[in-house]
Structure 1
Amino acid sequence: MANLTVISTTAVPPHVRGALSRWMLEPAPGLYIGTLSAKVRTELWAVVAASVGDGAAVLIHPADNEQRFTLQTAGERRRSLVDADGMLMIALNPMERNETEAIE
């Protein structure tokens, strides 16, 4: 059975955007939405995750858990997923200090 799937991308290569737009609609830049089977979603996410380069991507789709959805991420992000007893939460990672910044 097909389910609603959302993928959000940031600074990904053009070929990733092209692959996503073949299967999903892009209502806003970098935001893709579509009704995909689990097989298509898995294969598409494998391509996205392997190709994000310096960018980042987030996959959101229904799941049989308390929140009724799950998240997956690819690429370097300031936010990371934390599993708190089966509930997904978002943790902000500290920003890395720029080497040119003065040390206090």
Structure 2
Amino acid sequence: MTVIILTACPVGLRGHLTQWLIELSAGVYVGHISSRVRNRLWARVIDMAGPGRALMVFQTKGEQRLSFKVHDHHWTPVDLDGISLMRRPSEPVFNAAMPSGWSKAARRRRFAGRRSSE
């Protein structure tokens, strides 16, 4: 079984993958294909991905019975004593919409508690 997950990829690539795989959800494709077709599809994904990123999980022989391929993804596959793991980036990925630090009300409560205990 092969699973391909696309993020922010062009519509043309999504349409091309639906010729070979079933789209379960937006950007998630699953199917049983041969290794030859899988390798050609992955080459097409890399060519057509543009600014997007892709992740592919597929069956292989071995202890885990699966392997990963990634394209422009911030998580990377790492082999650790024969077991494939996904390494997260060491620096956190911040969202610009997320507030940073404490709110003003939380700061006031925090410092007010210190002043009253003195």
- The 5-angstrom pairing of residues 1-104 of structure 1 reads 4-75=1-72, 77-93=73-89, 94-95=91-92
Question: Per-residue displacement from partner, 1:9-49 (whole Å, max 9, x unpaired)?
Answer: 10111111011011111011100001101111111110002
Q: Going by fraction, where is helix more abundant, 1 or 2?
A: 2
Larger Rg: 2
Q: Percent identity?
A: 33
So what's the TM-score if we normalise by structure 1? Answer: 0.82
Following superposition, the deviation at residue 96 of structure 1 comes to 6.3
Provide the rounded CA distance (Å) in 2 between the counterparts of 1:92 and 1:45: 22
Provide the rounded CA distance (Å) in 2 between the counterparts of 1:85 and 1:52: 32
Provide the rounded CA distance (Å) in 2 between the counterparts of 1:56 and 1:44: 14
Match of 1:102 in 2: none
Q: Give secondary structure in 2 for the equivalent of 1:36.
A: coil
Q: Going by fraction, where is strand more abundant, 1 or 2?
A: 1
Q: What amino acid maps onto 1:14 in structure 2? A: V
So what's the TM-score if we normalise by structure 2? Answer: 0.73
Following superposition, the deviation at residue 95 of structure 1 comes to 3.9
| Unpaired stretches in structure 2, ≥5 consecutive residues | 95-118
Q: Give secondary structure in 1 for the equivalent of 2:30.
A: strand
Report the number of matched residues: 94
Q: Give secondary structure in 2 for the equivalent of 1:45.
A: helix
